[in-house]
Amino acid sequence: MRYVFLGAPGAGKGTHAKKLAQKLGIPQISTGEIFRANLASGTELGKKAESYMKSGALVPDEIVINMVEKRFGESDAQKGFILDGFPRTIAQAKALDAMLEKKGWKIDCALDIYIPIEDAVARISNRRTCRKCAAIFNLCFADIRPKKEGVCDKCGGELYQRDDEKEATVRHRMDVYAAQTAPLIEYYKNKGLLKTVQTSNKLSADQTFELIQKTLGVK
């Protein structure tokens, strides 16, 4: 299966993409995670992306597109994937179409995870990420709250708040999403590939995951 996960920052794309990818035995390809890993290990790619990421802006299309094309060449991507955080602009979506065509691949579904903006802002400012294994927790939800404050349940690593999860940056990211990424909903709708799931802070992460599986027809 090949899925694209769409949704505003805070919609839970990363959490659900990771869980579903594990269940299906395919990789979750998160461009944000690849950038963060490059930033942490000080690569040229990380240095190029750093200033954009810190301000909540998008990294230039060309850099992201080259990175995804390389990732598609790795062996685990041949059997399918969930794209999480890519594409984020119409130019990226068109480049993705061209890459897929070259490979003879097709997207099965673009899933839009819709969340009201005010719920998303509350979620993001309560999100914590593990420095070591990139696991994501949220103080807003009992079922994904870390058992011990500041410590990763999975590997014992330190939990931190990403720079781009501070409130002013979050507001900027919401504006960037509305202007540059939201048009992708129409783009995939026109291709007949769009499905939508509505979430909110009234639903637990497990309830939203159930909805996602039902919508995608995953057993």
The residues binding ligand AMP (CB under 6 A) are 9, 31-32, 35, 52-53, 56-59, 64, 85-86, 88, 92, 164, 173
The two structure tokens encoding residue 83: 């794209």
**Residue 127 annotated as catalytic:** yes
Q: How far apart are the first and last CA of the chain?
A: 13
CA-CA distance, 18 to 155, in Å (whole number)?
Answer: 16
Cα Rg, the chain, nearest whole Å? 16
**Residue 88 annotated as catalytic:** yes
Q: Residue 78 Cβ, how far from ligand AMP at the closest point, in Å?
A: 21
**Residue 131 annotated as catalytic:** no
> Of 67 and 212, which has the nearer Cβ to ligand AMP?
67
* 194-198 and 109-114 strand pairing: parallel
Q: Residue 32 Cβ, how far from ligand AMP at the closest point, in Å?
A: 2
User: Cβ-closest residue to ligand AMP?
Assistant: 32
> Of 11 and 202, which has the nearer Cβ to ligand AMP?
11
Q: Residue 49 Cβ, how far from ligand AMP at the closest point, in Å?
A: 6
Q: Which positions are annotated as active-site residues?
A: 13, 88, 127, 162, 173
